[in-house]
Chain A
């Protein structure tokens, strides 16, 4: 177990392309649904308990050694929006490049060959965490945190939100991040015995609607 490897993987400067994505907050700001710290916190909380939980469980399951291609298929079934599937694969491809540089491993190589256009990002992150000697809980925390840190960072740029307010939102969500990561790991452990239907499938209807609207914008600040 390496604690420092988790810092490397979770660092916002890890070159996996996440900074170009708003996690759905750009269309939410445009629609007036997110306009300040309080509405940002509710947005992040909802994303954490839906997309965040699902992604964290996929990553945890990958660390536990479940078949990455089956996990990739399970991720597709849990992502009805083609814009969000494309985003997840694009981020997965970038994560793959960075992960193979950081923690070369046969399992990452095999997934890169099987999914040359990119696997879903949490699956790649899970394999990277495993290669780096991290635990399922580490990977789940890392993914759950990304789910909220992306929108919070983007909101600073989109709303000219005070960065201190954005950081307060993230710190306020920390206890719920722990709960979600723990649920994700429990589900992943269940999935090793019961199959992948044991992984959560929590969905967020507005994120799906807004993702498709955003993908059609001619000009946007963030890729998703």
Chain B
């Protein structure tokens, strides 16, 4: 790993640019390696592989993906990301910056983010969408490896559509979070929490209705052409089952945006 100065963590930014014709920019850096995993058709696919699976305290890593007008891109990852403690006690920062141009479509489907004991990760995801862009975005946070207490995890997802705010959600858990995060208003003892966001201009004409998905998950239409699934589960496997189920149901009413 690059040791820029004593005590400093890794600094790395990976960049992806997708156009209808290809991927003119596919640039990993440091521990962030990118692989083109499907080159056929108009729908490009990139998999994030490698040691990004472990941001340590003090690291500052970032991924930028730009989907230009009319392009279609899926980004997934080869493995879960595990936040681990660093040597300095400093937090790690992980920034994700996504943009989708007119008529473009992005499926952002990374594996889970696992907050290991003693870690401290600040994750910031910003998405800028054109008015007619489409997005499927999944986030899953797991509090601790099996049977482990979680570290401190603070995430924020901010989505703008046509320059206006569409969704802004911050979550904070673990010993460094404000009180009450494990109480019955926030997590209620669940150890896995996930969100699936779907933005599609077609939802303006045929909005979905709010519905419960079991006892601890809900699908809610946002105040724009989008819906959000918010799910809580005891563990990562059960959480993924809920989000996969809604992905399957979604294929029925929105075939264009089927997950994967």
Contacts and interface: CB of A to CB of B under 8 A. Distances in A.
Q: Which of B172, B178, B186, B210 has the most CB of A within 10 A?
A: B186
A174 interface: no
A213 interface: yes
Interface residues of B, number: 39
Q: Classify the interface of chain B: helix, strand, loop or mixed.
A: strand
A43 B184 contact: yes
A209 B158 contact: no
B230 A28 contact: no
A93 interface: no
Given A45-B183, A49-B180, A205 B165 contact: no
Interface string B21-48: 0000000000000000000000000000
B156 interface: yes
Contacts of B216: 206, 209
Contacts of A42: 180, 182-185
B49 interface: no
B184 A39 contact: yes
A200 interface: yes
A129 B40 CA distance: 60
6 contacts: A34-B184, A39-B184, A77-B167, A81-B210, A197-B168, A209-B218
- For the complex of A and B, list the 5 residue pairs with the smallest distance between their C-beta atoms, beginning with the closest: A46-B180, A42-B183, A45-B180, A33-B184, A46-B185
Given A46-B184, A82-B220, 20 more contacts: A28-B184, A33-B188, A42-B184, A45-B180, A45-B183, A46-B180, A48-B180, A50-B180, A76-B165, A76-B222, A80-B167, A80-B220, A82-B221, A197-B158, A203-B170, A205-B171, A206-B185, A206-B216, A209-B218, A212-B218
